[in-house]
Structure formats: structure tokens, C-alpha cells
Chain A
Amino acid sequence: AQKVTQAQTEISVVEKEDVTLDCVYETRDTTYYLFWYKQPPSGELVFLIRRNSFDEQNEISGRYSWNFQKSTSSFNFTITASQVVDSAVYFCALSSPNSGYALNFGKGTSLLVTP
């Protein structure tokens, strides 16, 4: 069985603070994919990143960075110098060939960035 846990239900930060969203996953598969999606108030989920299980390199994209650690089954997401436009619900997700590539989502973390 696969499971994604996002323990932080809601986070509130002041603009320009750094914030890390946690994601812990469970899977018995050796090949799998991890994702982050952003859901702004408008509703649509926006794809942010996909990593496969064989690539543990951390990734940075502008103010966003992701820390993938297989040893702790975590795929954490950090926003540096947060902005009000970062306010959204962020979802971590997991898929694998054995699960038919269906995405298993966590419950999401609601991030509020205030001025």
C-alpha cells in the first residue's frame, strides 16, 4: 500500500520568511515518483515538480527547492523569501508503476503568507 503524509495542516508565515512543507511517503516499490502540486484559491492544481526514486539530487527552481531523502522517505518543499502569492494549498503525491501510475495525494498543507 502507498501512503503520503503531510503532517502540517496549516502554516502561517509573514512575507519574506522561509517556510518548509513536509512530506513523508510509504511505498514498497523500488521505482516510484514523487510530486508537488500547488492549489491556489482559483481551484486548479498546478504541477510544480516530479522526481523519480533513482534521482536523489535536490532541486532548486527560483525561490522553490526540494529535498528528497530516501533514508527518511521524505520529500520536503521549501519556499525561500515567501510572498503573498505563495498562499495556496500544497499537495505532495506519490505514484509507481505497480500502482498503475495513479497519483496518491496527501491531504495537503494550507500555506498562508501575510504581508
Chain B
Amino acid sequence: ETGVTQTPRHLVMGMTNKKSLKCEQHLGHNAMYWYKQSAKKPLELMFVYNFKEQTENNSVPSRFSPECPNSSHLFLHLHTLQPEDSALYLCASSQDFKSAGANVLTFGAGSRLTVL
């Protein structure tokens, strides 16, 4: 248990469904991240929230919609996904962002998403 909890661990959805991924951390961290891990590709940073404010959006399609209601919770809302969106989605947190403290990320175990 790393201190970052992701649910669900596995999700299968059709292209027309709407679902959400949830991430929770109780480490007292102020920055939270969504990463996408696809086979044979480097981890891709999707979104960063620092003190509940979105600071990074790396050209992610609008069918992915993040939400950070507080520093401990992060959601990734999914709608009208494509089969190529199937991947492992990893949540991470760090002390803060845009400082050396941002470097050391604590990751969750990921949510394995399959889009049919």
C-alpha cells in the first residue's frame, strides 16, 4: 500500500459509456497527477493539479475530463472513449508541483481500462 489508492482497479467500457476513475491520497500532498501507460510507450503525463488548481494539460482529448475537488481526491471522467484509449491509468501525488519537491512521486497501483 503506497498511500495512493485508485478505484476501480479494472474497468471495461463501451465507446458510448460514461465512467469515472477515482484516486485518493492521505499523504498530505498538494499535487496530484494522472499518467497514461500504454504498451511499448513511455508514461504520458496527462494532467497535473497543484493545490486543487489544474496546472498542466498535455493536449489530452476532451473525452478525458479531470476533476480535483480537494487536495486528497482526483477523478478522471471518461466519455465517448476510443479503443486506443485502453491503457493503465496511473494516479500519483507529490508534495507540490514546480519545485524540487515535485520530483518524488508516489503512485497508485493504477486502473486498467479496456474500451470495447
A residues whose Cβ falls under 8 Å from a Cβ of B: 4, 33, 35, 37, 42-47, 50, 91, 95, 100-108
The number of inter-chain residue pairs (CB within 8 angstroms) is 56
Could you list 9 examples of A-B contacts with CB < 8 Å? A4-B42, A43-B112, A44-B2, A44-B108, A91-B43, A101-B102, A102-B48, A103-B45, A103-B105
Within 8 A of A (CB), among B89-110: 90, 92, 97-100, 102-110
Chain A min CB distance to B32 (Å): 14
- Known A-B contacts A101-B97, A106-B42, A107-B41; the reply to A95 vs B103 at CB < 8 A is yes
- Chain A residues with CB under 8 Å of B108's CB are 44
Nearest neighbor of B106 in chain A, beta-carbon distance: A47
Shortest CB distance A1–B (Å): 13
Q: Is B21 part of the contact surface with A, judged by Cβ < 8 Å?
A: no
Q: B88 contacts the other chain (Cβ, under 8 Å)?
A: yes
Q: Give the residues in chain A near B105, CB-CB below 8 Å.
A: 45, 47, 103
Q: Is there a chain A Cβ closer than 8 Å to B4's Cβ? A: yes
- Tell me the bound Cα distance from A35 to B102 in angstroms: 12
CB-CB under 8 A for A43 and B88, given A95-B103, A101-B99, A107-B40: yes
| Leading 9 A-B pairs by shortest Cβ distance | A43-B109, A45-B107, A101-B102, A43-B110, A44-B109, A105-B43, A105-B42, A44-B107, A107-B42
- Shortest distance from the beta carbon of A85 to any chain B beta carbon, whole Å: 17
CA of A108 to CA of B88, assembled, Å: 15
Give the size of the chain B interface in residues (CB under 8 angstroms).
26
**CB-CB < 8 A to B106: which residues of A?**
47
Interface centre among A33, A101, A107, A108 (most CB of B within 10 A): A101
Question: B100, A44: Cβ atoms under 8 Å?
Answer: no
- CA–CA, A102 and B107, complex, Å: 14
- With beta carbons under 8 angstroms apart, the residue of A45, A104, A107 that contacts B90 is A45
Complex contact A102–B109 (CB within 8 A):
no
Contacts of B104 in A (CB 8 A): 47, 50
In this complex, what residue of A is CB-closest to B1? Answer: A44
Q: Are B45 and A46 in contact (CB under 8 A)?
A: no
Distance A108 CA – B106 CA, assembled complex (angstroms): 18
